[in-house]
Amino acid sequence: MRLTFEYTGNLGQGLSPQCLHMMDNGIRVIYLSADGMVKGKEAYPPLGIYSSLTFKDKGRMAADLGVSKPSLKKVAHYGAYGFWSSDG
């Protein structure tokens, strides 16, 4: 048996979005602004229901500027790490 759940939504303007589902059941979205700044949003699904998430803006997430080619990886039971290129 195969079960597939998919929810889509427009969270605003940004480039190269990366999404992480964390152990606290929160959703973190990390993306690039038009000028290459790393920014983020987060949401916590009430009762684990993902169809009506409300994302809160977390603002700037890293000091790097001119960021490109972001890539995030999640390691079960440890957390997440990421890589990107930066001009500055």
CA 13, distance to chain mean position in Å, is 13
Element (H, E) at 18: strand 15-21
What pLDDT sits at residue 33? 93
- Taking only the tens place, the pLDDT of each residue in 8-55 is 778 889 999 988 888 888 889 999 999 889 999 999 988 878 877 889
Instruction: Report in angstroms the alpha-carbon separations of 37 from 7, 17, 80, 83.
Output: 26, 12, 19, 14
How does residue 3 score in pLDDT terms, banded at 50, 70 and 90?
Answer: low
Tens digits of residue pLDDT in 56-88: 999 999 898 889 888 888 888 887 888 888 875
Cα–Cα distance between 11 and 3 in angstroms, integer? 25
- Which residue spans within 33-88 are E strands per DSSP? 38-43, 56-60, 67-75, 79-86
Q: pTM to 2 decimals?
A: 0.80
